[in-house]
């Protein structure tokens, strides 16, 4: 495993692949008079492209647009406000993933609430929150569960554990997002135009390759499933340009050692056992029908939204343009707050907080160009 | 006494406090029977270096060390990188009621052992006990005193284009050790903390060399944060070569999995030495001939004397700017 990491990051191999990608992209430019444009759906790809320098080094050959696949970034401010409201009761322990506690709500973040003495904890895995509930039988444990299809099965595992153990002091506030509905919105609204999609390896492990057939069938959009190391991403981009040059529209799987055609059936079954499709609010985009999953009615006792009646006012508006950034409509540099009022230390929007956020990727890895 | 636990009485200055001092601290730290005064009296000449540091690490015992070892080594290193020879150390303990005396003995013995290795004398100490729940096991504060003896000369003001940046070994070992030792991540690895006193290593590498510009130990915030501070303080721009950075395979693997960057992971037994180009070879070889510096490498150079930026050259040939650590949530690591 560790050897593979080294190989997938191998500098010589990456350089060779890079030269080939540039070459193929230039052929495309010659044929079409413009650069090929691809969107990376997933925040992990955004980070990988920025951190390795691939995005910058390909700037004159391929245009890469960051998409909506950062779970923290698309989480509506309302949920943060709701969690802070829930935390006001000292008998409750609120837990969530690391990045979430720094995302600003209308009046501060969960971290600010923690500093005020509220019991807010970071867990690494949803199952840890179940353990916490077992260890604290006299207190209510609420887990804020966010994520795409990569994380939803883990939420389902935690729900199953809580159910099997008959825990009465455990519940989950679920606000999950699905890849297909948001990609459909982007393709139908056409605010940004692109020629192909870089599809995330980890989501595809759960969903499988076949799940992407809507891209080719309904939109004639090619896609390549690839991993996150430099050589993997470069092969992904290479295969996309190759398809364009050959006028082929398909879904290619460059992650075949982990991604099968039908995906991980166990994970899918577990997801569907505990969760069902729901309308979901996306930050900056509003409500999108059937774009998320929430806890099924028969497990309502595990649903924090049903267990506690929390009313919070409409979130306070800021000038943060995260919503436009996650749709690929503007780049972070075009947001008036970026790197001025909004920095990783004082984030205004989630895109600057998250380890997968586009603004954080630009701030951490692409600022040298900005400063000249 | 070893099976007993710390009680509030151990901190009240009475008989039990006396017993604890006699049987745990004085025993370990080599007391010669001289009268115990309220202050230690030591002879120093010339300029002295003083540094203080508090240690709140969790877990208290971790692969490669414990809070006591790190409390001595950390302060010894702060003195040593400033170019002074560490001589004396003081220690203040804050113990939580209920702490096992056996564990305290083991920690104090590690301190004595590390002090002996580093050649420093523990000259003054203090113990306080707080109620259960008011501290997490134990906290230690140490203060070190070193003497400038002129064998090691550092000249940060002389930093210039072409100077070499050397690191004494692999980065991120301590940070990853602590993260995995906390057992919250479900990761198992063989990586150990690099926690060690570096004064002898530094002395061997730098003694008599005129080209030593500056030394720092990249603890919290890691290599990148420490270098950013130097860049900003002295208005020099440095460029690191990403492919030259020594990182253990398991450290890189753990960081990849958890979304951390080894450049920002803590070290407790590494020193950055910036040297004139002509001193590079001597310093590198001297470091490499020492057990604690065998993986030493040149990782970059100073490229200009203006903007004060830290740059990283990626394998793709691009350059990106590194900032201070921001946006990471690391647990208590030292």
A8 reaches B (C-beta below 8 A):
no
Q: Pick from B115, B89, B112: which is nearest to B24 by CA?
A: B112
Residue B226 pLDDT = 96
Instruction: Please name the residues between 39 and 68 in chain A that touch chain B, using a CB distance below 8 Å.
Output: 51-54, 56-57
The continuous run of DSSP H or E covering A31 comes out as: helix A11-32
And the tokens for B101?
């005396």
For residue A107, the SS3 value is coil
Region of residue A328 (left: phi > 0; alpha: psi -120 to 50; beta: else): left
pLDDT band at B231 (very low <50, low <70, confident <90, very high): very high
Q: What is the value of pTM for the model shown?
A: 0.84
**Which of A122, A344, A371 shows the shortest C-beta gap to B326?**
A344
Tell me the β-bridge partners of B300: B165, B240
Taking the C-alpha atoms of residue A102 and residue A87, their distance in angstroms, rounded to an integer, is 15
User: Does residue A367 belong to the interface with chain B, where contact is any CB pair within 8 Å?
Assistant: yes
Candidates A5, A53, A123; nearest CB to B256? A5
Residues of A in contact with B316 (CB under 8 A): 14-15, 18, 52-54, 56-57, 230
Question: How many CB contacts within 8 angstroms connect chain A with chain B?
Answer: 79
pLDDT in tens, chain A (372 residues): 556 667 777 888 889 999 999 999 999 999 999 999 999 999 889 988 988 889 989 999 999 999 888 888 888 888 889 999 999 999 999 999 888 888 888 888 898 999 899 999 988 889 999 999 999 999 999 999 999 999 999 999 999 999 999 999 999 999 999 999 999 999 999 888 999 999 999 889 999 999 999 999 999 999 999 999 889 999 999 999 999 999 999 999 998 888 999 999 999 999 999 999 999 988 878 899 999 999 999 999 999 999 998 888 887 778 888 888 888 889 999 999 998 889 888 888 888 887 778 888 888 887 755 443
**Interface residue B188 vs chain A (CB under 8 A):** no
Report the C-alpha gap between A168 and A114 in whole angstroms. Answer: 24
Q: For A50, name the nearest residue in chain B, comparing CA atoms only.
A: B320
B174 pLDDT above the threshold of 80: yes
Interchain pair B315, A14: CB under 8 A? yes
The verdict on B243 touching A (C-beta cutoff 8 Å) is yes
Cα A20 from chain centroid?
A: 29
Work out the number of other CB atoms within 10 angstroms of the CB of residue B145. 21
Residue of B260, B318, B330 to mutate for A, most A C-beta atoms under 10 A? B318
CB contact under 8 A, B185 and A2: no
- What is the ipTM for the molecules in this complex? 0.75
Query: How far is Cα B116 from Cα B199, in angstroms, rounded to an integer?
Result: 12
| CB hemisphere CA count around B11 (13 angstroms) | 19
Interface contact flag, B320 A6, Cβ < 8 Å: no
* B186 contact A CB<8A: yes
Q: CB A142: neighbour CB atoms within 10 A?
A: 24
The Cα–Cα gap between A323 and B120 comes to 58
- Of B45, B65, B46, the residue nearest B55 (C-alpha): B65
Q: How far is B304 from chain A (nearest CA, A)?
A: 14
> Smallest Cα–Cα separation from A20: which of A61, A55, A79, A68?
A61
Task: Return the H-helix or E-strand segment holding A86.
Answer: helix A77-86
φ, ψ of residue A301 to 5 degrees: the values are: -65, -15
Nearest chain B CA: its distance from A298 CA (Å) = 31
- Report which listed range, B146-160, B177-191, B229-243, is most confident: B229-243
In angstroms, the CA B59 to CA B77 distance is: 21
Helix pair angle (B67-81, B199-206), 10° resolution: 20
Span B19-41, pLDDT tens digits: 898 889 988 887 777 777 888 88
pLDDT in tens, B68-89: 999 999 999 999 999 999 999 9
Buried/exposed code over A338-349 (b: 16+ C-beta within 10 A; e: otherwise):
bbeebbbeebbb
**Quick one: pLDDT at residue B65?**
96
Task: Provide the 10 A C-beta neighbour count for residue A122.
Answer: 18
Lookup: tokens for A114: 């923690």
Q: Is the peptide bond before B59 cis (omega within 30 degrees of 0)?
A: yes
- Taking a C-beta distance cutoff of 8 angstroms, is the pair A45, A266 a contact? no
**CB-CB under 8 Å, B185 with A5:** no
**DSSP category for residue A317:** P
- pLDDT tens digit string along B116-137? 999 999 999 999 999 999 999 9
Q: Closest approach of chain A CAs to the CA of B312, in angstroms?
A: 10
- Whether residue B184 lies within 8 A of chain A, CB to CB, comes out as yes
DSSP state letters, B74-110: HHHHHHHHTT-EEEEEEEEEEEETT-BHHHHHHHHHH
């Amino acid at each position: 495993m560790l050897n593979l990491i080294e190989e997938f990051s191998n500098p010589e191999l990456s350089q060779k692949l890079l030269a080939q990608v540039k070459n193929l992209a230039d052929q495309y430019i010659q044929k079409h008079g413009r650069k090929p444009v691809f969107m990376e759906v997933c925040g992990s790809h955004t980070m990988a492209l920025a951190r390795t320098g691939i995005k910058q080094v390909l700037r004159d050959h391929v245009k890469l647009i960051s998409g909506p696949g950062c779970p923290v970034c698309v989480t509506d401010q309302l949920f943060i406000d709701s969690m802070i409201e829930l935390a006001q009761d000292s008998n409750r322990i609120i837990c969530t993933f690391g990045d979430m506690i720094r995302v600003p709500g209308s009046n501060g973040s969960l971290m600010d609430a923690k500093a005020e003495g509220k019991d807010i904890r970071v867990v690494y895995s949803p199952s840890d929150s179940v353990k916490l509930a077992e260890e604290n039988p006299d207190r209510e444990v609420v887990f804020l569960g966010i994520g795409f299809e990569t994380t939803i099965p883990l939420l389902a595992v935690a729900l199953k554990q809580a159910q099997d153990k008959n825990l009465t002091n455990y519940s989950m506030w679920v606000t999950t997002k699905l890849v297909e509905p948001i990609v459909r919105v982007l393709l139908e609204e056409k605010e940004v135009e692109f020629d192909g999609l870089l599809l995330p390896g980890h989501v595809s492990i759960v969903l499988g390759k076949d799940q992407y057939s809507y891209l080719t069938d309904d939109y004639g959009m090619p896609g390549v499933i690839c991993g996150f190391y430099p050589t993997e991403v470069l092969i992904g981009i290479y295969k996309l340009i190759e398809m364009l040059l050959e006028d082929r529209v398909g879904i290619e799987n460059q992650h075949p050692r982990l991604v099968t055609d039908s995906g991980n059936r166990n994970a899918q079954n577990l997801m569907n056992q505990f969760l069902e499709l729901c309308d979901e609010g996306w930050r900056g985009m509003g409500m999108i029908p059937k774009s998320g999953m929430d806890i099924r009615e028969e497990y309502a006792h595990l649903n924090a939204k049903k267990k506690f009646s929390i009313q919070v006012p409409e979130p306070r508006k800021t000038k943060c343009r995260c919503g436009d950034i996650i749709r690929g409509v503007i780049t972070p540099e075009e947001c008036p707050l970026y790197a001025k009022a909004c920095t990783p230390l004082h984030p205004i929007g989630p895109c600057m907080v998250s380890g997968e956020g586009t603004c954080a990727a630009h701030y951490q890895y692409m600022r040298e160009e900005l400063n000249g | 006494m070893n099976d007993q636990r710390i009680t509030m009485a151990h901190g009240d200055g009475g008989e039990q406090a006396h017993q604890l001092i006699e049987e745990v601290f004085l025993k370990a730290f080599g007391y010669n029977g001289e009268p115990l005064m309220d202050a230690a009296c030591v002879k120093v000449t010339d300029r002295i270096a003083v540094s203080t540091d508090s240690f709140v690490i969790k877990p208290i015992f971790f692969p490669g060390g414990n809070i006591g070892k790190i409390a001595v080594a950390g302060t010894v290193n702060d003195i040593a990188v400033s170019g002074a020879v560490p001589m004396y150390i003081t220690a203040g303990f804050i113990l939580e009621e209920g702490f096992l005396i056996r564990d305290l003995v083991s920690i104090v013995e590690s301190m004595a052992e590390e002090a002996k290795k580093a050649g420093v004398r523990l000259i003054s100490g203090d113990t306080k006990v707080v109620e259960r729940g008011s501290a997490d096991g134990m906290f230690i504060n140490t203060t070190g005193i070193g003497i400038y003896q002129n064998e090691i000369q550092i000249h940060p003001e002389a930093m210039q284009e072409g100077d070499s940046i050397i690191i004494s070994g692999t980065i991120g070992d301590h940070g990853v050790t602590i993260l995995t030792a906390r057992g919250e991540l479900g990761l198992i690895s063989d990586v150990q903390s690099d926690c060690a006193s570096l004064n002898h290593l530094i002395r061997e590498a730098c003694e008599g060399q005129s080209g030593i510009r500056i030394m720092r130990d990249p603890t919290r915030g890691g290599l990148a944060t420490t270098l950013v501070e130097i860049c900003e303080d002295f208005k020099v721009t440095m460029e690191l070569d990403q492919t030259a950075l020594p990182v253990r395979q398991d450290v890189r693997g753990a960081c990849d999995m958890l979304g951390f960057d080894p450049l920002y992971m803590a070290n407790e037994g590494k020193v950055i030495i910036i040297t004139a180009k002509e001193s590079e070879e001597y310093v590198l070889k001297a470091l490499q001939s020492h057990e604690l510096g065998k993986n030493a490498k040149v990782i970059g150079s100073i490229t200009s004397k203006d903007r004060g930026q830290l740059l990283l050259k990626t394998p793709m040939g691009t350059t990106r700017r590194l900032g201070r650590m921001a946006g990471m949530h690391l647990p208590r690591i030292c």
